[in-house]
Chain A
Amino acid sequence: MRPFALTYARRPIPEPETSFAYDPEQQLNVLADGTPAVRNHKVLLEAGSTTSTAGSKTHFDD
C-alpha cells in the first residue's frame, strides 16, 4: 500500500531553464556576456531561480 501522504503527491515542478552559468572566478552566476545574472532582475524572475518551490534540488526546505 502506498504511504498515505503520497496520495497527494504530484509531479515535481521542473527545474527552471537558466540563461546563466556559474563563474568560479567571480563566484557569481553570469550571463553569456559575462555580466552577473543577479543584476538582471528580469532574467531572475523569468528563470524562477529564486522562487520558493519545495521539491527541487536547490530548494529543498522552503
Chain B
Amino acid sequence: MTVLILTRPEDVTADMVVDHLNAMDAPVLRVDPADFPERVSLTASFASGALTGRITTEHHSTDLRDVRAIWVRRPGPPGNGARAQAAWVALESDHAWYGTLRALTGVRWMNHPDAHTACRYKMRQLVLAQTVGFNVPATAFTSVPVDAKGFAEAHGPLVCKSVSGQAPNDPPLALPTTPVPDGTDFAAVAEAPTCLQTLVDKRSDIRLTVVGSEMFCARADQSSPGQAELDWRYADPQTVRWRGVAVPPDIRKKTESFMKLAGLVYGAFDFAVTADESWHFLECNASGQFGFIELAAGLPISRAIAGWLAGLRRPV
C-alpha cells in the first residue's frame, strides 16, 4: 500500500504526518502536483478493463494499484511550470492528474476534491451548519449598498470578512475579520461582493479539528473582554493561549452530522464562545492548519491523520 500525499514542499505541517507514517512503516509518496509534468511523471493506462500506471518523483515511485489513501493537503495546481501554452498545459495536466486519481478504486481520500471544493463556499457552509443545529451568526453577501445598510440596521454590529476566505494578491494584502464601525458608508459595496456578518460578542475562540471519527478541541480565552484584535490569526501570538478542552456532547453530535453532510473526513472548525458558553459556528476549513494547535495544546492530531491514512483507524 502507498499513502499519496499531495502538498507543497515547504509544508512542514505535512512533515508531522509523514514522520508518523514513516514510524508506522507505511510507504509514502509525497508529491506537489505543481511539479507535474516537469519534475514528476505520470503514466496511466486503461486497457483490457484495467487501470495501471505509475507516479514517479526524483527519488520515489508508486504503482497506481498500490495507492490506498490520498491526502489532499495543500497541493499546487498541476502543470504550474509550463513555458508554452501555459494555460492549456495546466488544463491538460489537471485532467491527467486528478482524472487518474479520481478513477482509482479502493482509495480513501482526505478529503475528496469534490467535498473540499464544495466546502470552500461560505454560504453553503452556513446553511449546513444551521441544518445540523449550530448557532450561526446572520450573514449577508451583497453588492447593493442600500441592502448592506439595511442589514447593518437589522443585524448589527457587524464584521466584514472575505467572501472566499482569500485575500487579494495583486499586490498581496491580508484581510482579517474586522468590526464595521457604526455609521459606515457602504457605497463601496457596489465594487465587489461583500460579506457582512453579525459580530459575536465572544469570550473565547475554539478550534475543533476532526480526523475521521476523532475530535481534537482547543480553546483560547480572550486576555481581556473586547480585546483589540478580533481575528486570532492576526493577534499577538503571546496573547493567544490554546489549551486542549473536551468537546461538549451536543457539539460533537452536530459536528459529526456536519462532516457527514459535507462529505468530509478532515475539517478544522472555528467557533466563537460567548459569556453564556454558547458556541457560534464561524466556519469549517477543509484543509485548515493543525500544526500550531498540536504544538501549542499538545493534541496528537498528526498521529491521528497518519493513522487514518495508514488504515489503522476506522474510516467514517
* Chain A interface (Cβ < 8 Å from any Cβ of B): 1-13, 18, 20, 22, 24-25, 27-29, 36-39, 41, 44-45, 47-55, 58-62
Chain B minimum-CB-distance residue to A27: B30
Q: Contact between B288 and A61 (Cβ–Cβ < 8 Å)?
A: yes
Identify which of A6, A24, A25 contacts B175 (C-beta below 8 A). Answer: A6
Given contacts A28-B19, A62-B289, contact A4 B59 (CB under 8 A): no
Chain A minimum-CB-distance residue to B287: A61
Identify which of B9, B15, B186 contacts A4 (C-beta below 8 A). Answer: B186
Q: Contact between B289 and A5 (Cβ–Cβ < 8 Å)?
A: no
In the assembly, what is the distance between CA of A57 and CA of B16, in Å? Answer: 19
Q: B246 contacts the other chain (Cβ, under 8 Å)? A: no
The 7 closest A-B pairs by CB, nearest first: A50-B291, A3-B192, A22-B9, A8-B178, A4-B188, A38-B15, A27-B30
Majority SS of interface residues in chain B? Answer: mixed
Given contacts A27-B28, A38-B15, contact A5 B74 (CB under 8 A): no
In the assembly, what is the distance between CA of A39 and CA of B15, in Å? Answer: 9
Majority SS of interface residues in chain A? Answer: loop
Smallest beta-carbon distance A21→chain B, Å: 9
* Chain B interface (Cβ < 8 Å from any Cβ of A): 8-13, 15-16, 18-19, 28-30, 57-60, 74, 120, 148, 160-163, 165-168, 172-176, 178, 186-192, 194-195, 207, 233-234, 237, 268, 285-292, 294-295
In the assembly, what is the distance between CA of A51 and CA of B8, in Å? Answer: 16
Q: Contact between B10 and A3 (Cβ–Cβ < 8 Å)?
A: no
Q: Contact between B8 and A10 (Cβ–Cβ < 8 Å)?
A: no
- On chain A, the residues within 8 Å of B60 by CB distance are 27
Identify which of A5, A22, A41 contacts B295 (C-beta below 8 A). Answer: A41
In the assembly, what is the distance between CA of A6 and CA of B163, in Å? Answer: 12
Identify which of A5, A11, A24 contacts B195 (C-beta below 8 A). Answer: A5
Identify which of A6, A22, A45, A52 contacts B173 (C-beta below 8 A). Answer: A6
Chain A minimum-CB-distance residue to B10: A58
Q: Contact between B10 and A22 (Cβ–Cβ < 8 Å)?
A: yes
Smallest beta-carbon distance A49→chain B, Å: 5
- On chain A, the residues within 8 Å of B176 by CB distance are 8, 10, 54
Please name 22 pairs of A and B residues whose Cβ atoms are closer than 8 Å in the assembled complex, sorted by A. Answer: A2-B188, A3-B191, A4-B189, A5-B192, A6-B168, A9-B167, A10-B175, A12-B167, A18-B12, A24-B58, A27-B28, A29-B12, A29-B15, A36-B19, A47-B12, A50-B13, A50-B290, A52-B233, A52-B289, A58-B74, A61-B286, A62-B268
Chain A minimum-CB-distance residue to B190: A1
In the assembly, what is the distance between CA of A2 and CA of B28, in Å? Answer: 47
Q: Contact between A5 and B285 (Cβ–Cβ < 8 Å)?
A: no
In the assembly, what is the distance between CA of A41 and CA of B288, in Å? Answer: 20
List 8 additional A-B contacts (Cβ < 8 Å) besides A8-B160, A62-B285.
Answer: A2-B191, A4-B160, A5-B160, A6-B173, A28-B19, A54-B165, A54-B174, A61-B287
Q: Contact between B12 and A55 (Cβ–Cβ < 8 Å)?
A: no
In the assembly, what is the distance between CA of A5 and CA of B287, in Å? Answer: 24
In the assembly, what is the distance between CA of A20 and CA of B18, in Å? Answer: 16
Q: Contact between A13 and B234 (Cβ–Cβ < 8 Å)?
A: yes
Identify which of B19, B188, B295 contacts A50 (C-beta below 8 A). Answer: B295
